[in-house]
C-alpha cells in the first residue's frame, strides 16, 4: 500500500481540482461567448472567431489539436490518442513525485502542472482538441492559450525557481560545512 504524505490531498487533489474546474468553466464561458458548441473542435479546428476586448487583449477561439502552441497538430485522431495517453502518464508520474516532495514551492508547481495536464486532457478526450481563447497578439504574443496552459507555464517556472533556490541553499550549506 502506498503511504501518502501529509497534505497530499490538498496538493494533489483539492488545488488541481479547483484549477481544473475553473479551466473548464472558462472554456465553456468562452464557447458560449462566441455562441458555438463546446464540441466545435470536432468539425472546425480554426473557427476564426475573435472578439476585441481591449487594445492589449482579445478573445479568439482556437481549437488546438497539437500540444503547446499548436505543435504536432498533424494527424488529429492519432494525436488525440497519443497526447491523451501521454498526459495521463505524466499526471501519474507527477503525482508520485508530488507524494515524495517536501518543498512547498515545488509542490505548488507540480499541482499547477497536474491541473493543466488534466484540464487540457479533458478537452482532448471529449472534443479531440484543446479549446484556447486568451489572445494577446496585439502586444506581440502570437499564441492563443487557456487557463490550463497558464497553469502549466507558471508551474514550470515555479519548478525552475524551486530548483534554483534549492541549488543555492545546498551550495550555501556546503560552503558553511567547508568553513568548519
Task: List the catalytic residues.
Answer: 132, 149
Bin 135: left if φ > 0, else alpha if -120 < ψ < 50, else beta: beta
Residues with Cβ within 8 Å of 158's Cβ and at least 6 positions away in sequence, in order, are: 105, 106, 108, 109, 112
User: Residues 105, 158: contact at Cβ < 8 Å?
Assistant: yes
Q: Which residues pair with residue 145 across a beta bridge?
A: 134
User: Residues 86, 67: contact at Cβ < 8 Å?
Assistant: no
The CA distance from 57 to 79, in Å, is: 30
Amino acid at each position: 500500500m502506498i503511504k501518502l504524505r501529509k497534505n497530499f490531498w490538498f496538493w494533489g487533489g483539492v488545488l488541481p481540482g479547483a484549477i481544473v474546474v475553473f479551466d473548464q468553466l472558462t472554456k465553456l464561458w468562452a464557447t458560449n461567448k462566441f455562441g458555438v458548441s463546446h464540441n466545435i473542435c470536432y468539425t472546425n479546428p480554426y473557427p476564426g472567431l475573435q472578439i476585441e476586448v481591449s487594445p492589449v487583449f482579445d478573445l479568439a477561439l482556437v481549437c488546438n489539436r497539437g500540444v503547446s502552441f499548436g505543435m504536432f497538430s498533424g494527424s488529429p485522431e492519432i494525436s488525440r490518442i497519443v497526447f491523451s495517453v501521454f498526459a495521463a502518464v505524466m499526471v501519474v508520474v507527477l503525482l508520485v513525485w508530488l507524494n515524495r516532495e517536501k518543498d512547498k514551492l515545488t509542490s505548488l508547481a507540480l499541482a499547477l502542472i497536474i491541473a493543466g495536464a488534466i484540464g487540457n486532457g479533458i478537452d482532448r478526450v471529449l472534443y479531440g482538441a484543446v479549446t484556447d481563447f486568451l489572445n494577446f497578439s496585439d502586444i506581440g504574443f502570437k499564441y492563443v492559450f487557456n487557463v490550463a496552459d497558464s497553469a502549466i507555464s507558471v508551474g514550470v517556472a515555479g519548478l525552475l525557481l524551486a530548483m534554483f533556490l534549492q541549488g543555492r541553499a545546498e551550495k550555501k550549506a556546503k560552503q558553511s560545512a567547508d568553513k568548519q
